[in-house]
A = this chain, B = another copy of it.
Amino acid sequence: MDEEQLVRFLQRKFSFPNGRGIGDDASAQRINPSATWGSRIVAKDLFVEGTHFNLHHYSLAQAAEKSVGANVSDMAAMGGRGMEIYLGLGVPSRARTSDLEAVFSGIHKACRRWRLRLGGGDVSKAPCWFFSVTILGHALRPVFRDRAQDGDLIGLVGRIGESALGLALLQRNTPDSFYTRRHIQVNLHLGAAEELGRVASAMIDVSDGLLKDLSRILSASQVGAEIHIENLPITRRMKACCRQHDLDAQQLALTGGEDYALLCCIPPQRLKLLKGNGERLRIIGRIRSSPQRLTCLLNGRTQEIPAGGYDHLSNNLSDSRESPEFDNPR
């Protein structure tokens, strides 16, 4: 069963409220129509040893911290702010006391960094380390994936492909400390998320690659898009590093995951409402009306989409990158 099939199956089986179906970064519910503080947002992300991380690359504290960061990113991509987390922790029998201390040091660091409270959780023996984090928070104006419209500008805050480059270098045993850090640590853009949340028609965090995450917006909104590859934020440093290691910077930027950049769609007339963080926003393309058709342009000419990009959705569940989130939008 691939991701789309699972989502369709779940949509048939469970009556997600308002018939909006599933597929956002998090779920959002209005708690109290008269309250001024909007909607409650809940997100849940798994981070499993052997699937999402291995301990040759991560310390336990780093893995624990990243498992929280990925959830904060999902919350931010909904225009929300996290308040507290609940941790389900799988512990292999080889674990020592110092390992548990390391895990909770990472959780503690994440809680301080992103101003979260550890609300509770559960610990169990398991065949591998895993982190199952549920984050609770709220948003004044939740932003979904299904409201992108023809003509919206496609914007990006943060760099893309650098986490994948860091991982590729780690896997080749030619680590580069800068890109290792880009892979191991979660760099979030919470200020930008807050500001973008007020104006964006749709938003998502780039956790599975630009093309894949953009395709989720297109699919949910029933629109198409064109991306101008020359506008992607690929640094000279990244280009040089990729050349040196015979890697394709453009492909990494289009398909690499776990950068936690923010990808949003903004009606052009709302662009002027952006203040400070508007500077950090790169316009990389535009939403088009042709349903779910994605065109990549380089200097005005159509560029072939690299392997591992837009077609990822047809891969099997056993591909680690295919882990579907089935959060629903209301």
Contacts and interface: CB of A to CB of B under 8 A. Distances in A.
B121 A326 contact: yes
Contacts of A29: 119
Nearest to A317: B91
Contact of A14 (B35, B44, B118): B118
Interface in A28-68: 29, 31-32, 35, 42-46, 48, 50-52
A93 interface: yes
Contacts of A132: 46, 88, 122, 132
**Total copies of the chain:** 2
Contacts of A320: 124-125
A19 interface: no
A9 B104 contact: yes
A67 to B, nearest CB: 11
A301 interface: no
Contacts of A10: 104, 118
Contacts of A91: 317
Interface string A279-320: 000000000000000000000000000000000000001101
A326 to B, nearest CB: 5
A117 B17 contact: yes
A258 interface: no
A95 B50 CA distance: 17
B124 A127 contact: no
B323 A101 contact: no
A86 B323 contact: no
Interface of A: 1, 5-6, 9-10, 13-14, 16-17, 22, 26-27, 29, 31-32, 35, 42-46, 48, 50-52, 86-91, 93, 95, 97, 100-101, 104-105, 108, 111, 117-128, 130, 132, 134, 136, 317-318, 320, 323-328
Given A51-B124, A123-B324, A132-B132, 20 more contacts: A6-B100, A9-B100, A10-B104, A14-B108, A27-B86, A27-B120, A29-B119, A31-B31, A42-B120, A42-B136, A46-B90, A46-B124, A48-B90, A120-B326, A122-B323, A123-B317, A125-B318, A126-B130, A127-B127, A136-B136
